[in-house]
Amino acid sequence: MSLMALREQLNGLVNSMFLEGLLDDQFEQLQMLQDESSPGFIAELITLFCGDSERILAELTKLLDQAVVDYQKVDAFVHQLKGSSSSVGAQHVKLACVQFRQFCEEHNKEGLKGIYFFRCLRALNVVKHEYYLLRGKFDTMLQLEQRIQAYESKQQI
Amino acid sequence: MSSVGNGDGCCAGGSDGGQRHVLAVDDSSVDRAVIAGILRSSKLRVTAVDSGKRALELLGLEKKDVSMIITDYWMPEMTGFELLKRVKESSELKEIPVVIMSSENVPNRITRCLEEGAEEFLLKPIRPSDVSRVCSRVLK
């Protein structure tokens, strides 16, 4: 595939992610910081975000699997994920975390604990779904970027 | 996806001609990378640490070198507020401007920080425009 075609594919992918709301203005602002002096900035950020998110999702899965759920810990982890997704501009993940936290806050209502537990479980599944959707597209984005950079450094030789 | 960076370097270069050094403190690795990236695009030298304790260790060694501290509010063990207090209570460190970041908009938290001597309180997510505004005011 030609360099131009690769660039078009990458731009098309990123634009569709903005249009679908997977990414918001924060990501766009961070993209603008990537330049010759920091060519790997976005890749580094994405890698950190994905590692951190998967760690948190694993913790949340474990916490909701306990006989007695510690909702304070659950809330603390969701808060962390909400923070990092907001910082990188991962909008859908952030919104799913906001929804999840609302369910965490409601869990104490008398007589309805079972219902709130299942809502939390469902909310976690929504967060996972949004995250893995985003991650798939981030993986493609990084692969395209690597191919483009390889092409560009070949051209300079 | 790569484009020309828009760091205008307005914050660069202290009176000694060297790069200004900013200490960033945040327990979140993602937020650390974001704030460091934003600061570096303004041609600032950045050291990013993950706790107030590490920040104080670094300040003990390199106090003359640090032109500004930017710290998250909520951190385990030592909050940004506690770090702010320690800095302002130290005769050696109190002149260093401190900026607090938080994901939560809590008015009396903001007031307390400003009263304790914080230069500014920034709400997360931190944007490049927030940082250049603060830097151009604080790092004259």
Q: What is the DSSP string of B15-74?
A: TTSS--EEEEE-S-HHHHHHHHHHHHHTT-EEEEESSHHHHHHHHHHHGGGEEEEEEES-
Please state, in angstroms and rounded to a whole number, the distance separating the CA atoms of residues B88 and B81.
Answer: 10
Q: Chain A contact for B19, CB < 8 A?
A: no
pLDDT of B6 strictly over 50 = no
Please report, as a single letter, which amino acid is at residue A134. L
Within 8 A by CB and 6+ apart from B65, the residues are: B21
Give the residue from chain B lying closest to A40, CA to CA: B2
pLDDT grade for A106, boundaries at 50, 70 and 90: confident
A56 touches chain B (CB under 8 A): no
| B99: containing domain | 4-138
Question: What's the total number of domains in chain B?
Answer: 1
Give dist(CA A141, CA A147) in Å, integer. 10
Given this model, what pLDDT does residue A33 score? 94
Asked if B30 lies within 8 A of A49 by C-beta distance, the reply is: yes
Contact across the interface for A35 and B2, Cβ inside 8 Å: yes
Q: What is the mean pLDDT of residues B68-86?
A: 96
Nearest CA in chain B to A15: B1
What letter would DSSP give residue A40?
A: T
pLDDT band at B69 (very low <50, low <70, confident <90, very high): very high
Supply the pLDDT for residue A36: 81
In the predicted structure, residue A30 carries a pLDDT above the cut 80: yes
Report yes or no: A6 at the B interface, CB cutoff 8 Å: no
CATH number of the domain within which B121 lies: 3.40.50.2300
CB nearest B124 (choices: A39, A42, A86): A86
Identify the bridge partners of residue B140 per DSSP, sorted by sequence position.
Answer: none
pTM above 0.80, yes or no: yes
Confidence (pLDDT) at A112: 63
More confident residue, A104 or B76: B76
Backbone dihedral angles phi then psi of residue A43, each to the nearest 5 degrees? -60, -40
